[in-house]
Every structure is written in structure tokens, then in C-alpha cells.
Amino acid sequence: MDNTITLPAWVFNVLLLFAGIMVLDRLLMPSLRWYLRRRVKRVMDEVSTRLDIEIRPFQLTRRQGLIDQLLFDDQVIESVKTYATENEMPMALAQERAKRYAGEIVPAFNAYIYFRFGYWLARKLARLVYRVRVGFYDEDGLKKIPQGSSVVFVMNHRSNMDYVLVSFLVAEKTALSYAVGEWARIWPLHTLLKSMGAFFVRRNSGNPLYRKILERYVHLATRAGVCQAVFPEGGLTKSGELLEPRLGFMDYMLREYHPDFDKDIVFVPVGINYDRVIEDRSLIRKLDPNVSKRGKWFVIKTTIGFAYKTLLLSRKIRWRRFGYASVNFGSPISVKEWCELNQVDFNSTDQRQRFDQVKKLADQLMDNIGDVIPILPVALLSDILLEHKNVWKSELEIKSQAVQRIDELRAKGAPIDISIQACEGVLTNALGLLLGRGLVNSEDTLLRADFRSKPLLEYYANSIRHWR
């Protein structure tokens, strides 16, 4: 008697697939998870000995736990009810939307990816293009920040390289959590940034439910002491000047702040500047209302082409083309001390009064950021060339005026890190960069600003114009 059972090939393949999945789930995956957890723990033990601002338990909480914490927050629950009523939709549908918004915002921080891959990548990218400099660092001020305080780095926003540059420079001090916009919601950048602690923000969203969930996440992260990095301007400057601060994020952090018993919030001003901003022409182009917006395919194609051409250059040539990227860290501002000095209690005032006080603090922070924005040679020469834009001058005359301006700026206390010994070489390289980009015309031995490049020269000059 033949007891052989014959199965179709597709049934056998399905059974084989399920058997493979079971083997992975029961045998291999637990071992892999144990191995990865051990690697992460090893990294945590290593970095915890050298970080000035430790990684908070909030950052190490499982992502689903943070999402649930948000969804069960009393204010979020009330907002979901209101949203369902106003939009005449079932409560379950409103809750599902809230869950989707929370999943979009909440990061999935992974210490191993941040300190092993993210730090390495940020360092490589920054040094690949620029001569990176930290011109001023208030080491004593940072050391005096009380343990457990919520530290927030507030900085001007000149380029998308800002994220890379500052993350690399402060990686020895702490792990930063950034708010990033829609530009980063593409795969695989989306997954990488989430694992590095970034949270996504829809710019100018008028959805009240979304804004409430974002507000509560920022509030919870701040109260938990997560070290954050914020651009008060809300977006990239297109003119090169410092923009008026947008108050949303700062208000989220401060609206329920009790100076008497809450942990301190400490804002650290950060000034960033570049000899050459990679996307400068694109930013200036957006200032012209008559110029049509370029499509995504054009942007992707141009970006890939630019990256390819840059990688083909030697490091020495790249540095000549892009010059310096510099970051200065200013003196910290304690919110607790600021409230005591100005007799302010954000939690007990109405919305209008609170916004007035938040704006007062934001304006002070923007002034402090302006005070530490590095004075770089290209910005300095751009300002001088624009002053005499119709006059032909020799290279020696331009350099002499630059040296005179450097002395004047130093007398005002401006953050300029160009030594007397290196001044000649630095100014020569900066002039070479401007000539190479066609921003300066040359005739025999004389130079002057190219009139067609005036907007670009103004863009760089505007970064230091507040020192006039």
C-alpha cells in the first residue's frame, strides 16, 4: 500500500517559507537581538564616561512606549475628542489619525547608530568639503550647567549642512535631537534620521490635532531633559541675514514651565557660518517671485551631479573651492535665572502675555547668536567689494582694507579667528574662491565685484552686516 502524499510545488514552497520564518523567529532572531543589545550596551557604557550631557532614559524608551505615552496624554485625548466633533467623524477615526501623527513625529533613537555610524558619517561629510573650525567655545559656561538640566542649542540656519556640522562637533559632549522638515522624509534618509533621534515636523501645518501632538512631544522631551537643537528662524535664510525668530517651539517648551520646581532649561546660542553655502544659488533664486519652482527630479539630478563632481576633486582643491565652515558656541542662558531676573512666570500668564515674554527671550537669544556668528574671510571680502562695487582695486588694496576691517571688528569684540600670521594666506584663498566662482571680475591686476553676482555677494556680506 502506497502512503505517499503528493503536494503541489507551490504548497511545498509556502510550507518551506513558513518553516524558514519560524526558524528565524524562534532561533535566529532572539540571538540577533541579544547580540545587538550587547553592542548597544557596550557603546552606551563607553560614551557615558565622556559625555558632558548624558543620554536621558526618555531617549532609550521603546518607541512604541513613547507613542502610547503621547496618545494617552490628557491634553491629546481632549484634542482628539474636539477634533472628532468639529470634523464630524467617528472617534475611532480621529484616534487613528492621532496615532499616525504620533508615529510620524516620535523618533527611534539608537545609540549605536548615532555614535558609531552617524558620528562617523557627519565627520566625514563635514571634513570632505570644508575646513572645519570651532572658533569660540564657552567651556566654563557649559561646565556650569546644572546636572539634569534640559539643554537646548539654538542656532542660526544657513544650510542643510548645519545638521551635519553641529552634530559632529558636539558628539563628544552629547547626543542631539533635531526637528527636521519634510525634506528628510525620503527613504532611507527617513529611517537613518529617526534612529539618530530626529523628529519630523510639518512646517506651517494648521491641523490643530497635529500641532497638539507635536506640542506635547516637545513638552515631554524637554521635561525629560533631552538635549535638543532648534533653529529659531524656522527655516533657511534666503537673504543671508538673521531672520525674526518664530516662537512655536520655544512656546511649547516654556508654556507649562514652573521656575520654582521644574528642572532648569538652558539655551546655548550657536553661530554658524560658511565661506560657501552649498545651496546658496538655490536659496537666492527663491527670493525672485518671477522665477518658477524647480521640480524634484531636477533637484535630485543636480544634487547627485554636484556630489559626484565634488568627490572627484582632491581634498586640497575641495577646501580651496569651499573654504571654511565655522561654529561658535556662546554663553548659556538659564531660563530659571532669566525668569527670576525679569519677574516672569510663563505658566501663570495668559497666551498674549506669554508670547510677549517668549518673544523677549527669543530676541535676546537671536542677539546672542548674532554676537557669535563667525566672521569668515569670504563674508568679509564680500562686504568690502560691495562697498566699492564700481571701483577697480588691486589685490593689495582689497587685502589692506580687509586687515583694517579685521582690526575694527576685533575692537568691537566680534568673533573673528584670523591670526596676523595667517591673514595673508587666508585672504588670498578667499579671493581665489570668489574669482573661481565668477563673483569677482579681473582685468590685468585689478579686481571688482561682478554686477551680475551682486545678490550672491550680498548673501554672504549680510551674515556679518549686523556688526556695522
User: Is 359 or 111 the better-scoring residue by pLDDT?
Assistant: 359
Can you name the CATH fold of 377-467? Sec63 N-terminal domain-like fold (1.10.3380)
Average pLDDT over residues 234-243: 90
How does DSSP assign 211-223, residue by residue? HHHHHHHHHHHHH
Residue 83 near residue 99, CB atoms below 8 Å:
no
Alpha-carbon separation of residue 408 from 205, 332, 338, 378, 468 (angstroms):
45, 27, 32, 17, 10
Q: Where are the domains of the chain?
A: 103-276+323-372, 377-467
Residue whose C-alpha is closest to residue 197's, from 235, 158, 234, 224: 224
Phi, psi of 278 (to 5 degrees): -55, -40
Q: Average the pLDDT over 444-458 and give the result.
A: 91
| The pLDDT value given to residue 261 | 84
Question: Mean pLDDT score of the chain, rounded to an integer?
Answer: 84
| Cβ proximity of 463 and 273 under 8 Å | yes
pLDDT of residue 61: 85
Region of poorest pLDDT, from 4-18, 37-51, 188-202: 37-51
**So what's the pLDDT on residue 180?**
81
- Give me Rg for the CA atoms of the chain: 26
Q: Which residue has the higher pLDDT, 246 or 420?
A: 246
Instruction: Judge contact between 409 and 375, C-beta under 8 A.
Output: yes
**Percent of the chain with pLDDT strictly greater than 70:** 83
- The mean pLDDT of 331-356, rounded to a whole number, is 89
Q: Identify the residue with better confidence: 47 or 162.
A: 162
As a whole number of angstroms, the distance between CA 108 and CA 126 comes to: 24
CATH of region 103-276+323-372: 3.40.1130.10
Predicted confidence at residue 344, as pLDDT, reads 87
Instruction: Render pLDDT for 50-71 as a digit per residue (tens, 0 to 9).
Output: 667 778 888 888 889 999 999 9
pLDDT tens per residue, range 280-310: 888 898 887 776 666 666 666 776 776 667 7
Neighbours of 127 (CB within 10 A): 15
Query: What tens digit of pLDDT does each residue of 89-117 get?
Result: 999 999 999 999 999 899 988 887 888 78
Cα 239 to Cα 4: distance, rounded to the nearest angstrom:
80
